[in-house]
């Protein structure tokens, strides 16, 4: 973008200062193309400036990582909070010598924690408020996999979390919905974070869509649409196959794909600090 802006800076004086005799020998089509090029370049620069102005300043975009129990619902709940730009679910909390995890090894191991990494705009949602939201929506369990943990990146963050936790314990505050105590929250240093398999990302959003489609397909297979539209749908055939047969086939293929996805998909990858910000 800097190179384009520089080119425009040099082109404009050159065109404006071109002597009249030379301009007289320039064809109208060439002049039109030059003018359009300059206008297009200028518009691109203005559009880019507009996009930059609508995004939060880079220094205001932060990351935070939390162990919140089963990560499906908390990730979705945090994403709805004003100021949260993105969430992803993954695995973290293991010692440095541990191999990269999978969902199976996390479920049957004692090292990795199901975690949610959050990207947020610090000008809208400050860190202390984010901690409150974390505590409010988490679903911790008794095992290491579902532990309640705030993963801190530096001493300042650790001090802020300790201050937040100590103040809550001192005033004997508990979560209103179930009296969950703040003493349950652990504090650990940030370590390697592995983005979980794709089928875990936005899990409930996908499940709601699949459930809706499944209901429609089961209804079609049972003949619920036979009288709809004067029997047009119920009597529909494709390649000699009846409508209810097609619905059954689609439903079974979809169910089979979900099972296969869990057995085969192993797209776990490590996310370095700042990777999610770069992907926005």
Judge whether 147 and 110 are in contact, CB under 8 Å: no
Judge whether 191 and 93 are in contact, CB under 8 Å: yes
Distances (CA, A) of 108 to 62, 102, 105, 144, 251: 32, 10, 5, 10, 31
CA nearest neighbour of 178 among 69, 49, 266 = 69
C-alpha span between 280 and 278 (Å, rounded): 6
Question: CB neighbours (10 Å) of residue 152?
Answer: 19
Host H or E run for residue 65: strand 61-68
**148-152 vs 241-242, strand pairing mode:** unpaired
Residues annotated as catalytic (active site), given as ranges: 70
CA nearest neighbour of 191 among 111, 134, 268 = 111
CA nearest neighbour of 151 among 109, 189, 202, 96 = 189
Residues 6 or more apart in contact with residue 142 via CB below 8 angstroms: none
């Amino acid at each position: 973008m800097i190179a384009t802006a520089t080119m425009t800076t040099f082109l404009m004086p050159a065109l404006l200062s071109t002597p009249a005799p030379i301009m007289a020998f320039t064809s109208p089509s060439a002049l039109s193309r030059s003018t359009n090029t300059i206008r297009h370049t200028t518009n691109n620069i203005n559009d880019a400036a507009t996009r930059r102005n609508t995004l939060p300043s880079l220094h205001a975009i932060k990351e935070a990582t939390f162990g919140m129990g089963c990560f499906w619902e908390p990730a979705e709940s945090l994403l709805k909070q004003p100021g949260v730009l993105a969430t992803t679910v993954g695995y973290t909390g293991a010692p440095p010598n541990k191999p990269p995890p999978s969902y199976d090894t996390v479920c049957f191991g004692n090292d990795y924690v199901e975690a949610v990494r959050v990207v947020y705009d610090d000008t809208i949602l400050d860190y202390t408020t984010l901690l409150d939201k974390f505590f409010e929506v988490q679903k911790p369990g008794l095992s290491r996999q579902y532990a309640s943990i705030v993963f801190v990146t530096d001493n300042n963050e650790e001090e802020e979390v300790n201050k937040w936790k100590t103040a809550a314990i001192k005033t004997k505050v508990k979560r209103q919905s179930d009296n969950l105590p703040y003493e349950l929250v652990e504090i650990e240093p940030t370590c390697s974070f592995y983005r979980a398999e794709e089928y875990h990302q936005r899990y409930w959003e996908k499940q709601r869509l699949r459930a809706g489609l499944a209901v429609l397909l089961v209804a079609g297979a049972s003949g619920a649409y036979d009288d709809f539209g004067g029997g047009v749908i119920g009597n529909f055939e494709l390649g000699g196959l009846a409508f209810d047969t097609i619905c059954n086939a689609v439903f079974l293929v979809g169910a089979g794909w979900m099972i296969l996805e869990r057995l085969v998909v192993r797209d776990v990858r490590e996310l370095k600090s700042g990777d999610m910000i770069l992907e926005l």
